Amino acid sequence: MGFNLQIGEAVIDCDADYCTISLSVIDEEHEDAPAFGEPTDRSNQRWPSYSNWHNFIEKFNLSDVFNDEEKGLLREHPGISLITQWHKKRIDEEYEAFMRRYPNAKASYETDSLNDKYLVRMVWLRYWVDWALSNCKVPSFYNS
């Protein structure tokens, strides 16, 4: 089991047949977006397992960004949360701290280094958070 994570513009989905309204994020794919050999390369989606995403959060000291009861991006699962400049600042701070601790780390699944694999997730996260804050009316983090 795992997450379906998506970053981008929030959209309201209405299904008149079932009288339901839900929120989601518009699918995006960019030629310059991160790609590391995953099925979701270049897209605003990722499908990590719960344990891999938890380990990533711990490795990058991002528990407050994702799990804070008031502003955490994963405070509700499934759910959707607004991405703010506070999230970007915290993500950038922890990226810089990680790179100071592991200056030789490179985002890749092709090495034996767990740090390189964690960095893949951070590169994806930073790219799409930056893009969403610059390009979306309602920049959002969706998880299901």
Q: Two tokens at 66?
A: 């994702």
Residue 20 has a pLDDT of 87
Percent above pLDDT 70 for the chain = 100
pLDDT in tens, 29-50: 999 999 999 999 999 999 999 9
Residue 17 has a pLDDT of 87
Using alpha carbons, list the distances in angstroms from residue 96 to 42, 74, 114, 116: 23, 22, 17, 14
Enumerate residues 6+ apart whose C-beta is below 8 A from 18.
Answer: none
pLDDT in tens, 59-70: 999 999 999 999
Low-confidence spans in the chain with pLDDT less than 50: none
Taking CA 3 as the corner, what is the angle to CA 51 and CA 82, rounded to the nearest 5 degrees?
Answer: 115
CB 65 within 8 A of CB 100: no
Residue 16 has a pLDDT of 85
Q: Two tokens at 121?
A: 């997730």
CB 40 within 8 A of CB 47: yes
Give dist(CA 97, CA 125) in Å, integer: 16
Q: Across 31-84, where does the E strand assignment appear?
A: 45-46, 79-82
